[in-house]
Amino acid sequence: MTRSIDGSGIDRVLSDAIANGAVPHVAAIAADRDGVIYEGAAGDRIAGSGEPVSTSTHFRIMSMTKMVATTAALQQMEKGLLDLNAPVESYVSDFSGVQVLEGFDGDTPKLREPASKATVKQLITHTSGLGYWFWDEGIKRYEEATGTPNVVPGDMAAFNAPMVCDPGTRFVYGINTDWLGRVVEAVAGTTLDVVVKENITGPLGMDDTMFALDDARQGNKTPVHAKGEDGTWGSIGNVLPDDPSWWAGGHGLHSTPRDYIRFERALLRGGELDGARILRQETVDAAFSDQLDGAPMPTEIPTADPPITDSLTLGPGWTWGYGLLINTADVPGGRRAGTGAWAGLFNTHFFVDRTTGICASIYTNSLPFITPEAWGMYGDFEQALYAEVLRS
């Protein structure tokens, strides 16, 4: 039976975030194994419109796409069609051309061959050496010097970006899951949108989760917001194209809080929801376990592009599983050790706490990512949720 919580403390967190200007709008949802236990929202879908945002609003969930694409890859592994320890280039030959960026000679990048071949598992764990421009100065400089686009415009040339270290040597957050999406396509013999629809969102009844929104859903989408010089929030549009040349496993999905919580609940329940099984229990257990194979997890990732994101400060005690950030110790007043989580660049965040038996997510579409105000709202939401769950 779904537990009952009051929710008023969480409501205050959301309304305070709007009143304080921390975010332009916010929607949040939480569930246990049996169903939704909280949903709420505050602010306008489009700043100043007077139309309220809700848990049925469509958001760009950005890197919350990664766990969906990772699940698609793990499904291919379960079928015996994908070897996680195989070189990426054995599935996508283009990957054989990816080199390591060693530095620059003036404005000319210095590249070399990697010391080992990156594996599919290293894509899943962000240990292949591939980075993102916003958290790596070398990649940012490389893209500027060579005219290589980052992944946002949806141009295939983004895959020309190099590694910043040898595979397996450290955790570097980057375009790994975009490459993984291409691996899935090669193995499944169809495009990533079809794979996701047929094997994940379709079976789970997530009819509002998709790469390209139809016309009816376009009118329900929130644009990305940023603060103007006067400090007020305003729309800056879609930012990403609606018709990219490839479906991005790293950031391409739209979803609603009510839809994505079904995916979270499936993970919470060991890979099954309402009779539809998307992963085996043992695969889910592995996803929530340390999979870094000794590669160090950074305690801080400095920003290389402040208008896009702040620095990410984790501190000690974190690792990475299959598509999930894992905390190895209890968070006081919050998630328990072994919780799997991640976020999206436009300030969306989710976590799945299998020990407590709850999952939750919180959404806005705004930049920069993880500002102190947005980060504070995430924490306040989690603390308020756990306070009410533990009282119930």
Question: Catalytic residue positions?
Answer: 63, 66, 173
Q: Report the DSSP pairing between strands 100-105 and 272-273.
A: unpaired
The Cα–Cα gap between 196 and 219 comes to 23
Residue among 315, 320, 323, 350 nearest 338 (CA): 320
On the question of a cis peptide bond just before residue 306, with omega within 30 degrees of 0, the verdict is no
Instruction: Check whether the bond before 52 is cis (ω within 30° of 0).
Output: no
CB 356 within 8 A of CB 389: yes
Mapping DSSP onto H, E and C, the string for 109-139 reads EEEECCCCCCEHHHHHCCCCCECCHHHCHHH
- Rounded alpha-carbon distances, angstroms, from residue 245 to 153, 191, 241, 242: 9, 12, 9, 10
Are 224 and 232 in contact, with CB atoms under 8 Å apart?
no
Give CA torsion, residues 233, 235, 240, 241, to 10 deg: 180
